[in-house]
Each structure stands twice: as structure tokens, then as C-alpha cells.
Amino acid sequence: MSQLSFFEKDEVLTKAPVNTVNHTSCQRIEDKFAHLLHEDLQLANLVSYVGNKGIPVLRLYRYKEAFAFSFVEDFISRFGLGEEDYIFDPFCGMGTTLFTASQKGIPSIGVDKLPIATFIAQTLPLFYSLRPGQIRDAFELLKTRVQQAPPAAVALDVAIMKVAFPPDTLLALRKWKTAIDSLESPIKDILLLLFFSVLEPCSYTSKDGQFLRLVREKKIADPEEALENKVNEAERDIQLVRNLKWDQSVRLPSVYPGDTRDLTEITFARQPTAIITSPPYANRYDYTRTYSLELCFHFVRNFAELKDLRFGILRSHIESKVDSHEQPPHPVVKEVVDILRKRGKLLNNPRIPDMLTGYFVDMQKVIREWARVLAPGARVAMVVDNVRFEGELLPVDLVLSEMAEEAGFRVEDILIARYKGNSSQQMGKYGRVPVRESVVVWSKP
Ligand SMILES: C[S@@+](CC[C@H](N)C(=O)[O-])C[C@H]1O[C@@H](n2cnc3c(N)ncnc32)[C@H](O)[C@@H]1O
């Protein structure tokens, strides 16, 4: 596909009447896809993690950017997928898509760049292989070892690690980490997952904001007590799964740590017949900050490795860098980036135009990879959030859909799951203009 084609089309269309002088491309793309935009507001509760609070096992680790089990169930049913299908989640996160597919007996494969995400996605299905009481027995054994355990090596040169814990708590957590590391898999991985889930309550940090916030006045949990509670929750869930008679012989998904911008190294069993996914949003959010405690305890040895990860994920955060030759790959993105660049130093954060450029260059690569690896007839459902910076709305759902068309997909539907307000700061300045969170539905002819 040629990148020029978007721009050629846009030049022709700029001659059509438009509502505003400055937003020619945005108006054109809204008009073009208007007939495919449909409200489906019952999806609102499914596109967030909240829906997973009632799902045994999946609720043991809070990956707050996840969507819900029932969202995946819903699209498995809309697409009529069955055991003969092969579902791919190229941004698998904690593995909600893979977990749900396994429950339905559908083979699946996932990729994620963040090692804590692939670890959780690989480990959650292992809970099914445990007998009731097994985690508690392992925990009781660890209690006898933990006092003698030397503190595990963790990435102490990362700034947040110096302030996130009281010294006694940090020492206790490091000893627990050593004790857990002495176990054999899968029980070791299971306890590590539970351990990662108590890092936030045992720290002065909170994942509730857009970033990992330091909350000095927070009451901090005791590591042993927090772990014991988590072990009890896990035991309860294992029992629940047995009572629910969920299939214990679930098909284990394949999970790869990798970069979905280049899938050449990924071994697919065959061509996937569906994608159910959600990429990072172009909203400045940095996964390597939100999950920095988990990363520093196990997945990176020092700040340099954490930084490598930060610059290796999709460019959706504010520190993203662009090469001098990289330009906005779509006229709508160019239009918004140009408007924002003209504001120069007046911009709240002058790095936003670079982030948007990098984001869409990356997403264009991603979509082309999907067009390459998917089976003919495959369907795609992807949750995306539109964004608004300094009053400038960017219809991410439509831009990505047009990129998908250029890569050979057919755009079937753009389902509006919910409307989000914007920050109170923006509202005061620009008025309340809701921003769509949508599910784009594409198919490969
Ligand atoms: C919105 S989350 C997906 C959550 C997932 N749907 C779930 O239910 O857990 C987006 C994911 O994209 C991952 N990611 C970021 N850059 C990536 C890349 N280049 N390749 C693969 N995954 C990436 C992030 O680590 C994050 O887990």
C-alpha cells in the first residue's frame, strides 16, 4: 500500500464543502465513516477491567488496562468462533482474550512487549492445574524459610524503588522474593503472581491515576499478611472454578514476549482467524511506569533495562522519540499535529505532536502486519479510544480504520462503546466535548 494514497484522496476531498477552515481532513473522515458509526452502549461496561471483578482467577491480578472476560465472550459469539478457529491477541496484556478463548476450547496465541503482562497471561491458566490446598501448603513452607532468606537482588537504582516502600517492608519483600524463587514451577510462578499483586498495597504507590502516584499518607499492608490474604483468595477461586465445573483441561494459549510491529519471529500454528484486542491508547500513558515495581522486582536488573523497555513499547507515551525522517502517516494526524505544533511553547506538553506521530507510524506497521498474517476471511475487533489535546480531537477509531482499508481490510462497523468526558482542565477551557471509545470491526477479504 502506498502512504501517498491517503494524501491524494485527501487533496481531492478538500474541495468538498467542510464545516471548518482548519479541520478539513477530520471533517472528511467523519463524513466518510458516518454510516458505519453505531452506538452500542451496552459494551460500555465490558471495555474496562471492572467486569472482571467477578471472574475467578482472572481477578487475582489487577491489570487495569484490561478489558472484560464478557467482552471477549461477546465477540467470540458475534464472530461465531468455535474450536476450529485460532484467535490472536497482538497486545495480549494479562491475557483476557486468551483466557476466555481457552475457556471456550478455542486455541489462541498472544504477544505483548511488557514482560509482566506476558508473565501474567502465561501464569493465570496454570491455576487450573492446581489441587485445592496446594498454594496454601507452599505458602506455609515458605513461612518457615523466609526469615533465613537473603534479600533478592532488585533494581534499586530506579528512582521509584527508593521511595515506594518503608525500609522494613522493602527488606521483607525482598526476602519473600528469594523464598518464592526457591520453589519449582508452576507453584513458583503462581506465588510470584500473587506476590506481584501485593506490591501496590505494600507500597506508598497507587495505580489509580494515569501514572503510578506516590501517596504518602497511605496505610501500608504487611507483606506476609497481604500475601496470606492473596493465597486465601486464590484458594477460594480454585475451589470456585471446580464448583463451576469449568473445563480443567483448558487449552493452554501460546504467549510470546514480542513486539507486534514485527511478527516475523512469531510462530503461528496456522493463520489466525480472528483478532480480539486493544492497543495502548494515544493518551500519554506509560505502562513501564505503572508496572515499574513489578518490573524492578523481577523483570529488569537496573534503570538502563527499564529505559530500554520504555523505548521499546509502542509510542503512546510522552517520552516517545521520533526519527527526523518520520512524519505523520495520515492526513488527519498531520492536520492535528500541525495545529498543535503551531502552538509551540503554548502547548501544555510540547512533546505531544511527536508522540502522536510515533503512535500512528507504529500502528500503521501493526495493521500491515495483521493484514499479512491473518487468514482470508478473518475478523478483527479492536477497542480504541479517541483522544483530545488542547481542544483538538483526533478520531483514532476512524484513522486506524482508514489505515486498515489501505492495508486491505474491509471496515464493517465502528461501534461506539461509550463517550468519555475530558479532563476538567480541558473542559474549563474548551467546553465538554465527549470523546468516543469504540470497537472497530474489520474483516480480511
Ligand atoms: C490496552 S493493553 C491490552 C490489555 C488486554 N486487552 C487485557 O485484557 O489484558 C495494551 C497492551 O499493549 C502492550 N504493548 C505496548 N507496546 C507493544 C508492542 N510494541 N507490542 C506488543 N504489545 C505492546 C502493553 O504492554 C499492554 O499490555
- Residue 317 and residue 286 in contact, taking contact as beta carbons nearer than 8 Å: yes
What is the residue-averaged pLDDT of the chain? 91
Q: Which of 124, 266, 283, 314 to mutate to test the pocket of ligand 1 (most atoms within 8 A of CB)?
A: 314
**Cα end-to-end span (Å), the chain:** 16
Please tell me the predicted confidence (pLDDT) of residue 427. Answer: 59
Please tell me the predicted confidence (pLDDT) of residue 22. Answer: 65
pLDDT at 1 over 60: no
Cell numbers at 259, concatenated: 513486539
Q: Which of 300, 313, 368, 373 to mutate to test the pocket of ligand 1 (most atoms within 8 A of CB)?
A: 313
334-376 pLDDT tens trace = 999 999 998 877 777 889 999 999 999 999 999 999 999 999 9
pLDDT at 10 over 70: no
110 C-alpha to ligand 1 centroid (Å): 10
Which atom of ligand 1 lies nearest, measured to the CA of 280? 10
pLDDT at 333 over 60: yes
205 — phi, psi (to 5°)?
Answer: -100, 160
Higher per-residue pLDDT: 96 or 319: 96
Q: Whose CA is nearest to atom 7 of ligand 1?
A: 66
Please tell me the predicted confidence (pLDDT) of residue 16. Answer: 34
Which atom of ligand 1 lies nearest, measured to the CA of 261? 19
Which atom of ligand 1 lies nearest, measured to the CA of 314? 16
Which atom of ligand 1 lies nearest, measured to the CA of 259? 20
75-95 pLDDT tens trace = 999 999 999 999 999 999 999
Please tell me the predicted confidence (pLDDT) of residue 4. Answer: 47
CA distance 221 to 442: 46
pLDDT at 421 over 80: no
Q: How confident is the model at residue 128 (pLDDT cuts 50, 70, 90)?
A: confident
Which atom of ligand 1 lies nearest, measured to the CA of 312? 19
Q: Is 330 exposed, middle or buried (0-12, 13-18, 19+ CB in 10 A)?
A: buried
324 — phi, psi (to 5°)?
Answer: -65, -25
279 C-alpha to ligand 1 centroid (Å): 6
16 C-alpha to ligand 1 centroid (Å): 38
Please tell me the predicted confidence (pLDDT) of residue 348. Answer: 77
Planar angle of CA 368, 373, 379, nearest 5 degrees: 85
Q: What is the mean predicted confidence (pLDDT) over 160-176? A: 97
Lowest mean pLDDT among 1-5, 255-259, 304-308: 1-5
Please tell me the predicted confidence (pLDDT) of residue 7. Answer: 66
pLDDT at 14 over 50: no
172-193 pLDDT tens trace = 999 999 999 999 999 999 999 9
Q: How far is the CA of 188 from the CAs of 136, 151, 177, 195, in angstroms?
A: 12, 17, 10, 10
Please tell me the predicted confidence (pLDDT) of residue 347. Answer: 75
- Regarding the beta carbon of 61 and ligand 1, being less than 6 Å apart is answered no
Q: In three state form, how does the secondary structure of 61-120 look?
A: CCCCCCCCHHHHHHHHHHCCCCCCCCEEECCCCCCHHHHHHHHCCCCEEEEECCHHHHHH
- Residue 292 and residue 399 in contact, taking contact as beta carbons nearer than 8 Å: no
376 C-alpha to ligand 1 centroid (Å): 25
Please tell me the predicted confidence (pLDDT) of residue 11. Answer: 42
180-231 pLDDT tens trace = 999 999 999 999 999 999 999 999 999 987 778 999 899 999 999 999 999 9
Please tell me the predicted confidence (pLDDT) of residue 201. Answer: 97
312 C-alpha to ligand 1 centroid (Å): 12
Please tell me the predicted confidence (pLDDT) of residue 417. Answer: 96
Please tell me the predicted confidence (pLDDT) of residue 9. Answer: 52
pLDDT at 384 over 80: yes
Which residues, including other chains, have CB under 8 Å from residue 122's CB and lie 6 or more apart?
95, 189, 255
- Regarding the beta carbon of 117 and ligand 1, being less than 6 Å apart is answered yes
Please tell me the predicted confidence (pLDDT) of residue 422. Answer: 58
Q: Which of 65, 75, 263, 300 to mutate to test the pocket of ligand 1 (most atoms within 8 A of CB)?
A: 65
Q: Which of 48, 63, 113 to mutate to test the pocket of ligand 1 (most atoms within 8 A of CB)?
A: 113
- Regarding the beta carbon of 314 and ligand 1, being less than 6 Å apart is answered yes
CA distance 294 to 120: 11
- Regarding the beta carbon of 63 and ligand 1, being less than 6 Å apart is answered yes
Q: Whose CA is nearest to atom 26 of ligand 1?
A: 93
